[in-house]
Amino acid sequence: MEIELLEISVLSGSMREAKKIAETIVKEKLAACANISECNSTYFWKGKMEKHTEWNISMTTIPNHFAEAEKRIKELHTYELPAITAIPIAKANESYAKWVVENVKK
């Protein structure tokens, strides 16, 4: 049986905020795990080109947790418009997928 997984991604303007979001989402069992990586972002915001260092938080969960995770991320996030995206994980080894399911809310 194939287990459906989802990778949620959100950018943060500080490592402190990224850690707070990652730890809260995992502690509340909305995702099984979270990874934080530094990245350089370039984008337009309110008509001006911006270039900043940001921190990408990548969290693995199951699809029916997205709405609740999104709501919680918005509550914790300082950005006016946080970029919260999700993509389905096409393939994952079975033991990892089971571990994810065991480590999120039922």
Query: For the chain, which residues make up each domain, given as ranges?
Result: 5-102
Beta strands in 18-47 (DSSP E): 33-45
**pLDDT score, position 1:** 64
Q: And the tokens for 4?
A: 């459906």
Residue 104: what pLDDT? 97
Phi-psi region of 28 (alpha: psi -120 to 50; beta: other; left: phi over 0): alpha
Query: 88 - beta bridge partners?
Result: 6
What pLDDT shows up at residue 68? 98
- How much is the pLDDT for 41? 97
pLDDT (tens, 9 = 90+) of the chain, 106 residues, equals: 689 999 999 999 999 999 999 999 999 999 999 999 999 999 999 999 999 999 999 999 999 999 999 999 999 999 999 999 999 999 999 999 999 999 999 8
List the CATH code of the domain at 5-102.
3.30.70.120
